[in-house]
Structure 1
Amino acid sequence: MWDQIFSSRMSRMTASEIRELLKLLDQPDIISFAGGIPDPKLFPIAAFQDAFAETLGPDTQNEALQYSASEGYPPLRDWIAAQMEKLGIPCTRDNILITSGSQQALDYLGKLFLSPNDTALVSWPTYLGALGAFNAYEPHYDRLMPHANRTPADYAARAADKGGKVKFAYASVDFANPTGETIDRAGRESLLDLADDLNIAVIEDAAYQSLRYDGDAIPPVLALEIARKGSIEDCRTIYCGSFSKTLSPGLRVGWVCAAKPVISRLVLMKQAADLHSATINQIAITKVAKACFDDHVSNLRDAYKKRRDYMLDALLKHMPDGVTWTQPEGGMFIWLTLPEYMDGATMLAKSLETQRVAFVPGRAFHADGSCGNTIRLNFSLPDEATIEEGIKRLGALLRG
């Protein structure tokens, strides 16, 4: 009965392999390299306890438990605007919308730009959650290759052949999920050139921007565009940020930074979807961010850098010939490419049965379902002993 009355877009929406794998965390004998999960032992719990107690104190309790503006809590937007300026992105609170995590921002942006049969340019592979958000709006996908020799006319022609237009380029430019790779400055400049030529938006997913462990920071795409054009109001780049990887994923607080015409339309979507993000969470995040954000993120970098280094060393020690992997300068992930005859999903099933090690097969990160011989490993959650044991078991599995 239900299949006959569901909308056509439901055929494009499938369960997230990552969210399904997270259910395995309840099994105590599973070593999980699956989810992109911060270590809860590193949460600033004491700071949040103080913040929520203060938030529910007499000065702010009514505000915290009441409806509030769809744009978000003004002091939080002011704090974010100040942080954006440190990144080379001068803006005001009017350029900031608070969302329920950056995932909600991706959903809104898909709704804002995509009509059925339009084309979204995405990296290959790309963040699975972005594909899930965009799929509901029935687009086609084309490969975003900032350093390639493909012309804007080629992108436009391929989109027209599919019955629509190119609407945006989506990229996780720093320590991307799933590969851990970073787009260099030249690639970011090329991305802006392409977007100008095609007259499309750029969606810059900056979820991991704060988690750099090595190398020099590269200006965000939005900062580079402001340097070209002089003002955020003249820019086509939309920056999506999040507190999920730094302060807390459970509070679901993210933001969009963009030109005011974009923000005003996203506000309309926010009003229609959930009115506003939870006020109490926004106030608490503001208090914690003001109290300890820089020091806390510095501690995260130290902890996660050690785990990344430990996993890279373990891979070098235990992986068989024919397996290669990325060398991320930050973030939470390492991307493995297996011999072509291996399939990540098949290996996962064997791993869970024989080795009790979980990871994410790589096929789901490719819009065309290709590259089955890839897998994603997370290093932010497990401790060093768990990393060593898990990679040892995984190496044994891949050796057959």
Structure 2
Amino acid sequence: MDWQQIFASRMMRMKASEIRELLKLLDQPDIISFAGGIPDPALFPTAAYRTAMAEALSDATAPTALQYSVSEGYRPLRDWIVQEMARSGVTCTADNILITSGSQQALDYLGKLLLSPGDTALVNWPSYMGALGAFNAYEPRYDRLNGNAGPAEFAAAAAAAGGRVKFAYLSADFGNPTGETLDLAGRQALIDLADDLDIAIIEDNAYQRLRYDGEPVPSILALEIARKGSIENCRTVYCGSFSKSLAPGLRIGWVCAAQDAINRLVLLKQAADLHSATLNQVVTAHVAQSVFEDHVAGLRQTYGRRRDLMLAALDREMPDGVTWTRPQGGMFVWLTLPAQMDGATLLAQALADEKVAFVPGRAFFADGSNGNTIRLSFTLHEAAPMDEGIARLGRAIRNYRAA
């Protein structure tokens, strides 16, 4: 059968994730990889999960942990998230929380909820490729959020394309891929823009707890609540995740938003998978309640040191004409190469000649532009492999330029 003839038109916009493909390189012992934006498995709170799993499967708890659950999510976990949101200035209740199978599922649901074909999504340039992949299925067009356009220009461009602007999406803290943080004035301006356009804000905050230096900036949702008095008056949808702070394999994320938005997302959840895995939610609640603060403090210490190692190595090894970000947190450093270079071509040569891996930057741009960029992750390596890997990358760049 020729399957191509019956695929929906949306499949033409869906592409394989370059990062998922590059993760296969982690199994090759001679490759030093800065590609996958993944936590160090040596830092997982394994003992706490082992204890939590035993507790979840005890005679008293197993009937709950192994049973169907409500679509909104396991109530003790949602209650813990309410407390976690309160730490950052977001006053809400469990009715404002939906548990999802990772924050990636939340992005898919939000695309389905908000986008009709031809509508406009405002995104950073570059933006998280997983978000672009999630939204692509719903056939939007993209406009550049961090450009110079104002509400009138955005609205006119969207109308000319046969749709309207529906939301602005961004990672405000140490965003993937650049590691950069939107300052307080930028967050306030974004709320103004969203009010003027009457659109939603999707705040993807997977890295918020991984700050290594600098002063914390309130989340966009917290700032909007401070303006408008209640989460029920807010247009910001906050997406959180345990993947970077605890462990990604259980696939537990959440959405925090006004109840009207949550209620609609629950309908999508019921149609998709009924609810996220109950056992995983029970275990995550136990681990979060028992070790979260101490564990995240340890992550900040370790990842902060590794960020410093990468930045120092880049200072030593990068040739003239290469620039990079200096993130205050998160997992990534973003390199801009000389204009004539292409990150994908560099990757092929770097793998063949130097056995070093990274993510080419083009996939992070909605229009496939800016090929002279690459993303590095610093979470997996200590001093020796970090120094060697960046030295290899420097040689690869010099060889590319010489050729």
Q: TM-score, normalised on structure 2?
A: 0.98
1:159 corresponds to: 158
Q: Which runs of 5+ in 1 are unaligned?
A: none
2:309·2:382 contact (CA, 8 Å) conserved in 1? no
Q: Secondary structure at the match of 1:241?
A: strand
2:199 corresponds to: 200
Q: Distance in 1 between matches of 2:102 and 2:53?
A: 19
1:89 CA displacement: 0.4
Alignment of 1:48-63 (within 5 A): 48-63=49-64
Q: Secondary structure at the match of 2:284?
A: helix
Q: Distance in 1 between matches of 2:265 and 2:380?
A: 33
Q: Distance in 1 between matches of 2:383 and 2:370?
A: 29
1:273 corresponds to: 272
Q: Secondary structure at the match of 1:170?
A: strand
2:71 corresponds to: 70
Q: Distance in 2 between matches of 1:124 and 1:16?
A: 18
Alignment of 1:21-60 (within 5 A): 21-60=22-61
In structure 2, give the amino acid aligned to 1:227. Answer: A
1:382 CA displacement: 2.0
How many residue pairs get aligned? The number is 398
1:332 corresponds to: 331
Identity in percent: 70
Q: Which runs of 5+ in 2 are unaligned?
A: none
In structure 2, give the amino acid aligned to 1:374. Answer: T
1:322 corresponds to: 321
Q: Secondary structure at the match of 1:180?
A: coil
1:341 CA displacement: 0.8
Q: Distance in 1 between matches of 2:229 and 2:152?
A: 27
Q: Distance in 2 between matches of 1:334 and 1:85?
A: 30
Q: Distance in 1 between matches of 2:246 and 2:357?
A: 25
Q: Distance in 1 between matches of 2:383 and 2:209?
A: 22
1:149 CA displacement: 4.4
1:216 corresponds to: 215
Q: Secondary structure at the match of 1:116?
A: coil
In structure 1, give the amino acid aligned to 2:53. Answer: F
2:295 corresponds to: 296
**RMSD of aligned alpha carbons:** 0.6
2:234·2:258 contact (CA, 8 Å) conserved in 1? yes
1:101 corresponds to: 102
1:59 CA displacement: 1.1
Q: Distance in 2 between matches of 1:86 and 1:321?
A: 43
Q: Distance in 2 between matches of 1:60 and 1:271?
A: 24
1:150 CA displacement: 2.3
Q: Deviations over 1:140-192 (max 9, x none)?
A: 000002xx542201000011111100000001000000000000000000000
1:381 CA displacement: 1.4
Q: TM-score, normalised on structure 1?
A: 0.99
Q: Distance in 2 between matches of 1:382 and 1:23?
A: 17
1:385 CA displacement: 1.3
Q: Deviations over 1:314-370 (max 9, x none)?
A: 000000000000000000000000000110000000011011111000000000011
* Greater Cα shift, 90-99 or 383-392: 383-392
1:398 aligns with 2:369: no
2:304 corresponds to: 305
In structure 2, give the amino acid aligned to 1:350. Answer: Q
2:117 corresponds to: 116
Q: Secondary structure at the match of 2:72?
A: coil
Q: Distance in 2 between matches of 1:136 and 1:65?
A: 32
